[in-house]
Amino acid sequence: MKTEILPKGIPLALYALMAGAFGIGTTEFVIMGLLPEVSRDLQVSIPMAGLLITGYALGVAVGAPIMSILMAKFSRKNSLLWLMGIFTAGNLICAIAPDYTTLMIARVVTSFAHGTFFGIGAVVATSLVAKEKRALAIALMFTGLTVANVIGVPAGTWLGQMLGWRATFWAVTMIGPVALAALYLLLPKDQHGEKVQVRAEISTLLQPQVIAGLLLTIIVDTGLFAVLTYLAPLLTDVAHFSEAAISPVFLLFGAGMVIGNIIGAKLADIHLDNTLLGALLFIIAILASFSLFAHHQIAVVSLVALLGIAGFAAVPSLQIKILEKASGAPTLASAMNIGAFNIGNAAGAWVGGLVISHGLGLTALGWIAASIVSTGLLLALIEMQLVSGKPATSTTSL
């Protein structure tokens, strides 16, 4: 099956991957805006409802390696179809869940498709384009995730507030068949020998450079989410915005994600290491600025948009670095990296909570988060220096 190409050289198959990413991104984040509705309907506390977010994130981290291994006997195209089927079924169960326990189980089931879909999708995306456009291909797939935050999450939140939270999950469920049809019709059939070799992938995954890459992803996302998790109270309690202003400000963050994703990809295809280092420095500067300018409304709004740009400018580089370091284990390593992002999400929320609960205040979050990402920058510099210092005969692919 030949991949059709649009005038700008973008394979149609990438748009199928974007559709799946849009649905998965909407499912992951839309619950944040529906916690009050879920809490009232299922008669649980807000913190208990909030565990639906934590459960999903942990499910992604745990499910990524498990599902990658289970999908090993299928071709990558068929694996993506199965994963989108799990996504659809999980959201359907969410929509009809009679109680909190069922909803939590359905959320975890849905999350199991998340990491492996993006992991396999990243490998498929890079196989559809020339080597010099790999980062752009991954960015285009992740555009589905960023657009979910700009359009899917606000629309889903509004729908849930108007018609009940179940209506949102019915709507998200409907994305599944559309994405399934697009994947089936547009993705090319796998070439011979493209299936996952489980033992080889696990062996490669345990190599120090791959572990270092996964650790870098966790560290960077921990720093980002130490601030992102508490943006709402930062806006209302420190910058003194009204609650009505929170949603528009978050839309700016989503728009920044889209911009940063594409810019970061284009730069990564030109020079991968410099793009990653530049993005990390940008993130550190923005995070630290939150502590300096948290009381200034115009500055804070600008920083939110810039954090979206900076945070997602690093994503294509982090994903490509993992694919290069684990060239013998692209599927499992790529899926594990998505799991690493979600571990960072959960860790960042925990670290931010510790900062606040120990009395350091919301304005301290920026400094703490910038320090965490600085550790990641140091790790990246050390790793790059070690690799560049290896003899020319080394077979390490970086």
Q: What is the pLDDT of residues 228-259, one digit of tens each?
A: 878 878 888 888 888 777 778 878 888 888 88
Of 70-79, 105-114, 302-311, 358-367, least confident by mean pLDDT is 70-79
CATH number of the domain residue 389 falls in: 1.20.1250.20
pTM of the model: 0.75
* 72 and 211 together in one domain: no
* 65 and 120 together in one domain: yes
* 177 and 291 together in one domain: no
3-state secondary structure of 149: helix
Residue 376, domain extent: 197-398
Q: Residue 6 CB: number of other CB atoms within 10 A?
A: 10
- Selected residue with higher pLDDT from 100 and 248: 100
Query: Phi, psi (5° rounding) for residue 187?
Result: -75, 135
pLDDT in tens, 118-146: 888 888 888 887 777 777 788 788 788 87
Q: Residue 312 CB: number of other CB atoms within 10 A?
A: 29
In 3D space, the residue among 42, 226, 11 whose CA is nearest the CA of residue 133 turns out to be: 11
What pLDDT, on the 0 to 100 scale, is given for residue 393? 37
CA torsion sign for 291, 293, 296, 302 is: negative
pLDDT in tens, 194-210: 455 566 666 766 777 88
Residue at a domain's end among 195, 221, 236: 195
**Whole-Å CA distances, 88 to 83, 84, 103, 141, 272:** 9, 6, 14, 19, 35
Residue at a domain's end among 195, 225, 252: 195
* 297 and 325 together in one domain: yes
What pLDDT, on the 0 to 100 scale, is given for residue 92? 95
* 202 and 170 together in one domain: no
* 191 and 280 together in one domain: no
At 390, the pLDDT band (50, 70, 90 cuts) reads low
In 3D space, the residue among 107, 96, 268, 237 whose CA is nearest the CA of residue 166 turns out to be: 96
Number of domains in the chain: 2
Distance CA 64, CA 69 (A): 9
* 135 and 119 together in one domain: yes
Residue at a domain's end among 172, 195, 218: 195
At 394, the pLDDT band (50, 70, 90 cuts) reads very low
* 313 and 398 together in one domain: yes
- Selected residue with higher pLDDT from 266 and 104: 104
- Selected residue with higher pLDDT from 174 and 350: 174
* 126 and 116 together in one domain: yes
Distance CA 7, CA 24 (A): 28
Query: What is the Cβ-side half-sphere exposure of residue 223, based on CA atoms within 13 angstroms?
Result: 31
Q: Cα 141 to the chain's mean position, in Å?
A: 11
* 66 and 123 together in one domain: yes
* 136 and 34 together in one domain: yes
In angstroms, how far is the first alpha carbon of the chain from the final one? Answer: 31
* 227 and 173 together in one domain: no
